[in-house]
Copies of this chain bind each other. A is one copy, B any other.
Amino acid sequence: MTDAKTELPDAAASDPVALGWMTGFPPPADKAVTYADGSFRSFPQLRWSWSNVRQIVPTVNVWRGPGPASPLPRADVDLDGVAVTTMGGETISFAEALAQTFADGLVVLHRGKLVYERYFGALKPHQPHIGMSVTKSFTGTLAGILVADGLVDPAAPVTHYVPELAAGAFGDASVAEVMDMTTGLAYSEIYTDPKSDVWALRRANGMAPPLPGVPQLSLLEYLTTVAKQGEHGRVFAYKTVNTDVLAWILRRASGLSLSELLSTRIWQPMGAEEDAYYHVDRLGIESGGGGLNTTTRDLARFGELMRNRGAFNGRQIFPANVADDIARGGDPAKFAPAGYATLPGWSYRNQWWVSHNAHGAYMARGVYGQALYIDPKAEMVIARYASHPAAGNVANDPISLPAWMAVARHLMG
């Protein structure tokens, strides 16, 4: 079936297993998904790719450590039939909402119990899926941890940690402005426009092949080329390069790679079930803005760790204030001018999206439908990986956001 609005195949019709993408030994030419020809990024091929990034590009491991996985006790609740009224006014079932948002994996935790878990497409429970910009919320949380450690000062200039950035846009930005994305940058992030700066970032971070005859910049080299536009500190403007700069600040402040930081400060103590991984640039440097891949369950564990204010797996993993500061959110007045139609009254704080709704919900969000939704009032966490045909979440928010609230209400009884 095709979707009437997009004229693209729907979730069932684009199922990568049914379509046979990358199946067979070898996959036939018309079923191959490769890096060199860019097909891994096209729909419906990306329905395979986003579950198999390490087969496409070089990566670095985030070790889970030698211990057992933290338990996720099961208490199944059948949410398939929960009624969801979309922003468009249509009423559909939760199961249908998952299909319409091209979910690859979905885990719902309620009061720390795993109440609902589904996998679709090319994803399996033990398999990491790319988080896209969900990665940013991990970078932000690690930044909060290093601030709590006293290793990073939000009031300091970026150049205190990364002097190479002095000549460009970040030369007069503070760490706090980078954390909250209130820098003024001449950098465009339009996923559908191949001339947008986001493509230059991708060529630098390893997720797009270099242009023929053009030297391949490393991630840091690219960041030095970003120019200033407007003023810092005024308004929120979502630009991935901020998070990549923040990741550089964390490396310089800690002396550790992002993968080592994530492993030692979160992945090992929270008892992740599987290793995670980042894709890397030509120098082995992680994409802190979009390169993290985890299992759906481990993403949910991270959500539960946030919901429990840093306490999980029998220990206080980071200070409660790191999570509290994020959950409180930023300034909605700085967020409003960005004009996110599906996110009225929201704010952005330290790489997280904060709803300021009655439940105090906040989110990690990544293109193509990646989502970690934390609802403190409902004591609920939802982790969803997806492979939506459209990059921008405005395409799935009208279904997703009401769906999360409908499930929250159902679980609250």
Contacts and interface: CB of A to CB of B under 8 A. Distances in A.
Which of A69, A216, A252, A284 gathers most chain B CB within 10 Å? A284
Given A56-B58, A61-B54, A68-B68, A218 B283 contact: no
A65 to B, nearest CB: 8
Interface stretch (A26-34, A189-197, A232-240, A384-392): A26-34
A219 B27 CA distance: 12
Most buried by B among A32, A218, A220, A282: A282
A55 interface: yes
Interface string A19-43: 0001001110000111110000000
A59 interface: yes
A126 B66 contact: yes
A71 to B, nearest CB: 12
Contacts of A63: 126
Given A26-B220, A58-B57, A61-B54, A34 B282 contact: yes
Given A54-B58, A54-B61, A216-B36, A251 B282 contact: no
Interface in A1-51: 22, 25-27, 32-36
Nearest to A52: B284
B25 A257 contact: yes
Interface string A237-252: 0000000000010011
A33 to B, nearest CB: 8
A275 interface: yes
Given A66-B126, A68-B68, A216-B36, A284 B58 contact: no
A195 to B, nearest CB: 24
B27 A283 contact: yes
A69 B65 CA distance: 12
A60 B55 contact: yes
Contacts of A322: none
Interface centre among A33, A36, A55 (most CB of B within 10 A): A55
A22 B280 CA distance: 13
Given A36-B216, A66-B126, A280-B55, A285 B25 contact: yes
Contacts of A218: 26
B58 A25 contact: no
A57 B251 CA distance: 23
A27 B283 CA distance: 7
A349 to B, nearest CB: 26
Interface string A267-287: 000000101010010111100
A55 B22 contact: no
A371 to B, nearest CB: 24
Given A35-B282, A36-B282, A52-B284, A25 B252 contact: yes
A126 to B, nearest CB: 6
Interface string A54-97: 11111111010010110000000000000000000000000000
A60 B251 CA distance: 27
Contacts of A61: 54, 127
Contacts of A219: 26
26 contacts: A22-B284, A25-B248, A25-B251, A25-B252, A25-B257, A26-B218, A27-B284, A34-B282, A34-B283, A35-B58, A36-B282, A54-B54, A54-B58, A54-B59, A54-B60, A54-B277, A55-B280, A55-B284, A56-B58, A57-B58, A59-B59, A61-B127, A66-B126, A66-B273, A68-B68, A275-B275
Given A32-B283, A55-B280, A55-B284, 8 more contacts: A22-B284, A35-B58, A36-B216, A52-B284, A54-B60, A55-B60, A57-B58, A68-B68
